[in-house]
Structure 1
Amino acid sequence: MKGIFTALINSFDEKGNINEQGLREIVRYNIDVSQVDGLYVNGSTGENFMLSAEEKKKVFKIVKDEAGDEVDLIAQVGALNIFEAKDLAAYVTDLGYDALSAVTPFYYKFDFEEIKDYYNSILEDVDNQMLIYSIPALTGVNMDLKQFGELFENEKITGVKFTAPDFFLLERLRHAYPEKLIFSGFDEMLLPASVYGIDGAIGSTFNVNGKRAKGILKAVHEGDLGEARKLQKESNDLITAILDNGLYQTIKELLKVKGVDAGYCRKPMKKPGDEQIESAKEIGRTLLD
């Protein structure tokens, strides 16, 4: 399980309901056009933390039904409600997802023993592998090399989605645990992360920039750093424009430029205004691959 995985956008209608047809179109675009290696479902990019447990199950089922076994599928099941996380883990395992992922528990100041128990509890009743989802900027949870090592003692924990700019820790993890999967989570840092021998990357902008991301990995693996720098610069131009215009709304508008019914974001995220939509169209004309 390696390569470029799209942190999948979810499609909602104007009332905030899951738009099944739109979600299927997003899946197909990522597989057929971007030709990504896998999909990371119900992560931050999928507006997961604004969904009910039943809505999450609906998304997991639609994506699996549409993607089948064409690409690897990772289900983000993390939740503050441990019973929900365990239920979702069992549900997606039965659906045939290739791996689980779970964000570190957030909001409350959990100590490390509580965090470790959280992961072990999710995994105790399921036969599946787990990628820790480490994103300190949003969770406030920073773990060091020793703590990652303690988590990795659970044989079902096979790796980490590493969404942090700490490249010293990234290198130490790669050196200490060469058998574990490490996926980079910052799209704008894919090139430097790749140099450290990551197994792949999981990113939101891969919904519209998957081909370049795959190109960066390929160029690094082939030792062509000039090509890798060129593709990262092009990607970062696109990422800058997307961030300046509103991350999730702009990705959805860019997919619409490609003929995909990406729908809207769910409240409290706002709908894009006319100026934002026009800016997205201009981004699509000038910066998409």
Structure 2
Amino acid sequence: MKGIFSALMCSFDERGNVNEKGLREIIRYNLDVCKVDGLYVNGSTGENFLISTEQKKQIFETVYDEVGGEVPLIAQIGSLNIDEAIDLGKFVTGMGYNAISAVTPFYYKFNFEEIKDYYDTILKEVDNQLIIYSIPALTGVHMNLDQFAELFNNSKVIGVKFTAPDFYLLERIRHTFPDKLIYSGFDEMLLSASVLNVDGAIGSTFNINGQRAKQIFDFVQKGQLQEALAIQKVTNDLISEVLENGLYQTIKQILQSKGVDAGVCRKPMKPLATEKLEVANTIGKRYLQ
């Protein structure tokens, strides 16, 4: 399960319902146009923390039905409600997902023993392999090398989605655990992470910019750093403009401009104002011909 994985977006209608037709179109755009190597389903980019358990299951089912065995699928099942996480983990495992992933428990200031117990409890109940989802800026959970080592002691924990700018820690994890899967989670730092020999990356902008991400990753593996740097520069120009205009809404509008029924974001996210819609369309034309 190496390479470039899109943190898959989901299409929602104006009432917040899953638009299955639009979701399938997003999937096909990722696979047929962006040429990504796999999909990370129901992560932050999929607006996972804004939807119900039944909607999560609907998305998991639709993605699996559309993809089958075409590419590997990772299901993000993490939740503050551990019973929901276990239920979702069993659900996707029975369906055939290649792995589960779970964000570190957040909001409450859990200590490390509680975090470790969260993962161990999920994996006692779910017969699948797990990728930790570490995103300290949003969860407030900062783990050190020794703590990652404790989590990795569970043989069913096969890797980490590392969404942090601490590249010293990233290098130490890579050096210490050569057999674990490490995915970079910051699209704008893909080149730097690739130099540290990560196994791949999982990112939001890969829904539209997956081809460039694959080129950066492949060039680094071939030792062609100047070529990778040139593509990362264009990628970061794109990312800067997308972030300034509104991340998820802008990506969805760019997909709309490509003929993909990407829908709208769920509340409390607001739709783009008219002028921002025009900016999104301009970004799409400028960077994604």
Paired residue secondary structure (2:116): helix
3-state SS, counterpart of residue 286 of structure 2:
helix
Whichever residue aligns with residue 120 of structure 1, its letter is D
In structure 2, list runs of 5 or more residues that go unmatched: none
Compute the displacement of 1:257 (Å): 1.3
Deviation >2 Å, runs of 4+:
none
Provide, for residues 181-202 of structure 1, a one-character-per-residue CA deviation record: whole Å limited to 9, x for no partner.
0000000000000000000000
Aligned-partner residue type, residue 49 of structure 1: F
Distance 1:244 1:123 in 2: 39
Show CA shifts across 1:117-147 (max 9, x none). 0001111122211000000000000000000
> Contact (CA 8 Å) 1:238, 1:288: kept in 2 or not?
no
Asked if 2 retains the 8 angstrom alpha-carbon contact of 1:3 and 1:200, the reply is: yes
1:66 match? 66
2:111 is aligned with 1:97: no
Quote the Cα distance in structure 2 between the aligned partners of 1:221 and 1:271.
39
Instruction: Count residues in correspondence.
Output: 289
Aligned counterpart, 1:192: 192
Question: What's the offset of the Cα at 1:258?
Answer: 1.1
Q: Which runs of 5+ in 1 are unaligned?
A: none
- % identical equivalent positions: 67
Aligned to 2:224: 224
TM superposition shift of 1:288: 1.9
Structural mapping, 1:270-281, within 5 Å: 270-281=270-281
1 CA distance for matches of 2:90 and 2:64?
A: 15
Q: Which residue of 2 aligns with 1:167?
A: 167
TM-score by length of 2: 0.99
How many Å apart are 1:3 and its aligned residue?
A: 0.1
Give the match for residue 264 of structure 2.
264
Secondary structure at 2:83 match in 1:
helix
**TM superposition shift of 1:272:** 1.3
1:33 aligns with 2:33: yes
Alignment partner, residue 124 of structure 1: 124
- Taking the aligned partners of 1:19 and 1:156, their CA distance within structure 2 comes to 34
CA distance in 1 between partners of 2:257 and 2:221 (Å): 32
> What is the alpha-carbon distance in structure 2 between the residues aligned to residue 218 and residue 53 of structure 1?
37
For 1:107, the aligned partner's letter is Y
Q: Give the Cα–Cα distance (whole angstroms) in 1 for the partners of residues 127 and 266 of structure 2.
A: 33
SS at match of 1:124: helix
State how far apart, in whole Å, the 2-side matches of 1:15 and 1:57 are: 18
Residue in 2 that maps onto 1:113: 113
Residue-by-residue CA offset, 1:208-233 (whole Å, 9 max, x unaligned): 00000000011001111011001100
Q: Give the Cα–Cα distance (whole angstroms) in 1 for the partners of residues 140 and 87 of structure 2.
A: 25
> 1:235, 1:257 → 2: CA distance?
19
Q: d(CA) in 2 for partners of 1:243 and 1:185? A: 16
Q: Is 2:179 the counterpart of 1:179?
A: yes
Aligned to 1:149: 149
Q: How does 1:230-269 map to 2 (within 5 A)?
A: 230-269=230-269
Q: Secondary structure at the match of 2:125?
A: coil
* TM-score normalised by the chain length of structure 1: 0.99
One-letter amino acid matched to 1:167: F
CA distance in 2, matches of 1:163, 1:128: 22
For residue 79 of structure 1, report the CA deviation from its aligned partner: 0.2
Q: Is the 8 A contact 1:145 1:169 kept in 2?
A: yes
Corresponding letter in the other structure for 1:135: I
Q: Letter of the aligned partner of 1:265 in structure 2?
A: C
Q: Is the 8 A contact 1:4 1:201 kept in 2?
A: yes
Aligned match of 1:287: 287
Partner of 2:211: 211
Q: Aligned-pair distance for 1:179?
A: 0.3
Work out the CA distance in 1 between the residues paired with 2:51 and 2:78.
12
Shift of 1:88: 0.3
- The alignment partner of 1:6 has SS state of strand
Q: Distance in 1 between matches of 2:36 and 2:163?
A: 19
- Indicate whether 1:49 and 2:49 are aligned: yes
Whether the 8 Å CA contact 1:45–1:248 is kept in 2: the answer is: yes
